[in-house]
Structure 1
Amino acid sequence: FLSTQPKHALRLDDVSKLYRELGFPGGRKVSRFLQRHPTIFATYHHADNKMWVGFTEFMEELLLEEKEIMNEMESDRVNKVHKLLMMSKYKRILLSKIHHCRLLFGIPDDFRDRVAKYPEFFRIVMEDDGKRILELVKWDPLLAVSAIEREFLIDEDRVKKMFKFPVKYGKDLGLQYDEMKKLNSLNTLPMVSLYSDGWQFDLWSLEAEKYRVGVVHEFLRLTLEKRASIHRIVEFKEEFSLTRQTYQMLKKQPQTFYLAGTEMNWDVFLKDAYDGDGVLIVKDPQVVFNDRL
C-alpha cells in the first residue's frame, strides 16, 4: 500500500486510520508493527510537525530492483494472462479476479494499466453492474500448447506415467498391438486439449475429468512456484469448469500432484517441479528476488 503512495510516504495518523484496510486488528498495533521492521520502515518528523512513515533506503533499493524485474518479465507475464484467457470457458475473466491472484503469477500491481499497452491481445469491457472484464482479442496458436504436450514430445514414457484414469475393459479383446496401445492411452494421458471447448463434455465423463486435470496442471505451470492453494484455484472454478470434487480428483493423481493440508484448506504442488528436498528446481527471477527478502 505504501509503495503506491506519492513519494512512498504517509502520515502516521493516516496509517493508523487505515488499520482495517491494512489488515491490522487495531490502530494501536500499527506503530508497534513498524518498530519491529526497522530495515523496511522509517518514521520521521515532517515539516508539518507530524510523524510520517516511509521506506528505508534499503527498502527503496529493493523496490527499484523488483520494478526492474517486473519490466524485464513483462512479456512472460503477458503470455501468462493470454494463456489464462485462452483456457477460460468464454475467453474472459474478471479483471479484479486476476488482480487478486496477481502474486501467484508474478503479475505486477499496475497490470490493469499495462493491459492498455496490448490492445491486439486484450480489451477491458465494462459490465452493466460496473464490473470490468478482461477479454481475449486474439487467439495465439503458438500459446495454445500445454506444458504436458511439450513434455510429451521430449519424453513420452515419463509423461504417460504421470496420470492414471482407470478404464474397465475385458482383457481378451483380440486387439492388435497398435489398437491395444491406443486403448491403454485412455487410462494415462489427459489427451483432451486444454485450449479447446472441453467444458462442453458431460460433467462426469472421463473426457471431462481429463480436461479438468489438465487445466489444473497447466494453471499450476503458469504460477511462479508451481503451486497454489485451493482458495486461489476455486476462484477460477467457473472459468475452468471445476467441480466441488477437485480435491478428490487431484488426489487420484499422486504421481503428478502433491496435496498438503486438509480437504477444506490445502495447497497443491506439481511434484516434478521440486527436487527431493522440496526445493523448486527452476526459479523465476521474481522467486529468486522473493527468497532474498
Structure 2
Amino acid sequence: MFQWQRLLLSAAKTTHPKVPLLKALLNPYDPFPKAQVFSSLFASHFSTSFLVTKIPKKFRKKRKKKESPRFKLVQTQPNVIPHFESILRRDAHYRFLMKTKDFLLKQPQQVLLLDEAGKMHQLLGFPRGRKVVKFIQHHPLIFEVYRHSDNKMWLGFSEFMERLILEEQKIMDEMEMDRVNVVRKLLMMSVNKRMLLSKIYHNRHLFGIREDFRDWVGKFPQYFKVVFEDDGKRILELVSWDPSLAVSALEREFMVDEDKVKKAFKFGVKHGKALELDEHDERKLNLLMTLPLVSPYSDGSKLDLWTVEAEKYRVGVVHEFLSLTLEKRAYIHNIVEFKEEFSLTKHTYQMLLKQPRTFYLAGTEMNWCVFLKDAYGQDGILIDKDPQVVFNEKLYRYADMEELESTTSNH
C-alpha cells in the first residue's frame, strides 16, 4: 500500500464529514473521479490558511535608506579635514551677504524695493519662504532699510558699507593687470583659445574679476578680441600667445622643489602578481608614470581619452585652474562650466579623489568643492592671500558686528 493510502486510511477511521470521499479514494474500483475527490477534499479540509505568507511588519528587517547625494558627505572619518569643511560652512553663512551685495551693486541707485526683495530668494541667497528682513538684520553694519519719499520701504547699503565699496574698487584697480593675465591664461588653456564671455563673467568672483568685465575687456585689444556668433553669443578670443604665461604653477614649483612635485600625484600602473614587485619597486614604477607631467597649456583634445597622458593633462588643468583662483578652490559648478574648453570628462570627481595628496574634496557629493591642499597651512589659512581675499575677510568680520568699535569708527 502506498504511503498516501495509509494516511487516507487513518483519516477515514475518524468521524469527519469528508470520510465518504476518503473511502472513495481508497476503493480502486470506485468509478468516482479521483481528481474531483482530491480537489473537493483538499479545498476545504486541508486548508493552507495556517501558513504565514507575509512577515509581520514588526519582524521585518529595516532596510537602510540609501543616503541622498544632496546630504552624503564626500569625505568620511578619518579623512575629514575640519578646517576645509568649515570654509564651506562659512560660505553658507555669508551667502546672503555676498549675493545681496552683488545684486545691489548692479542696480542703478544700488537700492531695491523691500517688497521685491522678499520675492528674490534665489538672487539674494536666502531660503524660500523665509522673510528677507530677518537676514538683513543679521548684518546691521552692511545693509539698511529706510522709507523713501514715496512712502515705500527700500533696501540699500549703509554709509559704512559705501566706504568699503570704494575701498574694494581701489583694490580692483590696483590688481587690474593681474586679472588680465588670469583671463589670458584661461584662454591659453582652452582648446581653441576662445570661450564664451558669459562663462568667465559667471565665475568672475572666483578670480576677482570686476562686475563690468564684459565691457572691461575692450580696454585691452592687444590681448582680447570679442566676436559675435550667429546666435548672438559673445565669444572672447585670445589675440596673441605669450610663452612667459604658458608656464603652470606645477612647473614653477618643480624648479624649486622637484621632490615635492614628484610626490604630488600618483598615476598607478596595473601589473600582474607574477612581477612580484616590492613596495619600493612599485613606487619607482609609479613614479616613472607620474613624470613627466603634461602641460595644461598643451592641446589636450588631441590626446587619446583614456590614456595616462590624457589623465595627467586633465589633472594638470584642474590644478592650474585652481591656482588661478583667489582662494585656490572651486565648486563643482565652477569646474563643469569649463568642461568643453578644458577637455574634462564626467569622471572628474573620481579622478580627483584618486589624488588625495594634492586635492581635498569637501562638502556633499552633489555640491562638492575641491581645494589645493598645499595652498593652505596646517591651520587652514591661505598661505598667500590676494588683496581681494583680505578685503573679503574684513567684510565678513564687519558683517557679524552689531556696531562699530570706537577705534574703527574714528578711523
Structure 2 length-normalised TM? 0.64
Equivalence for 1:214: 316
SS in 1 for 2:145: strand
SS in 1 for 2:382: coil
Equivalence for 2:142: 40
Preserved contact between residue 266 and residue 286 of structure 2 (Cα < 8 Å)? no
Q: Deviations over 1:42-95 (max 9, x none)?
A: 222333333333211111011111111111111111111110000001111111
Preserved contact between residue 39 and residue 59 of structure 1 (Cα < 8 Å)? yes
Return the alpha-carbon distance in structure 1 between the equivalents of residues 128 and 366 of structure 2: 29
Return the alpha-carbon distance in structure 1 between the equivalents of residues 148 and 324 of structure 2: 44
Which segment drifts farther, 62-71 or 24-33? 24-33
- Please report the RMSD computed on the Cα atoms of aligned residues, expressed in angstroms: 2.7
Return the alpha-carbon distance in structure 2 between the equivalents of residues 18 and 64 of structure 1: 26
Q: CA deviation at 1:188?
A: 2.2
Equivalence for 2:209: 107
Return the alpha-carbon distance in structure 2 between the equivalents of residues 169 and 240 of structure 1: 30
Q: CA deviation at 1:27?
A: 8.8
Spell out the pairing of 1:254-293 with structure 2 (5 A cutoff).
Answer: 254-293=356-395
Q: CA deviation at 1:40?
A: 1.4
Preserved contact between residue 190 and residue 213 of structure 1 (Cα < 8 Å)? no
Return the alpha-carbon distance in structure 2 between the equivalents of residues 270 and 286 of structure 1: 18
Partner AA of 1:49 in structure 2 = N
Preserved contact between residue 267 and residue 286 of structure 2 (Cα < 8 Å)? no
Preserved contact between residue 104 and residue 224 of structure 1 (Cα < 8 Å)? yes
Spell out the pairing of 1:69-148 with structure 2 (5 A cutoff).
Answer: 69-148=171-250
Equivalence for 1:166: 268
Return the alpha-carbon distance in structure 2 between the equivalents of residues 160 and 26 of structure 1: 48
Partner AA of 1:250 in structure 2 = L
Equivalence for 1:230: 332
Equivalence for 1:203: 305
Shift in CA distance, 25/149, structure 1 to aligned 2, threshold 3 Å: closer
* Identity across matched positions, percent: 71
Q: Any unmatched runs of 5+ in structure 2?
A: 1-102, 273-283, 396-411
Q: CA deviation at 1:14?
A: 4.7
Q: Any unmatched runs of 5+ in structure 1?
A: 171-181
Pick the structure with more strand per residue: 1
Q: Deviations over 1:239-280 (max 9, x none)?
A: 111111111211221211112234433211111111112221
Equivalence for 1:175: none
Shift in CA distance, 190/224, structure 1 to aligned 2, threshold 3 Å: farther
Structure 1 length-normalised TM? 0.88
Return the alpha-carbon distance in structure 1 between the equivalents of residues 376 and 152 of structure 2: 50
Preserved contact between residue 19 and residue 25 of structure 1 (Cα < 8 Å)? yes
Shift in CA distance, 27/265, structure 1 to aligned 2, threshold 3 Å: closer
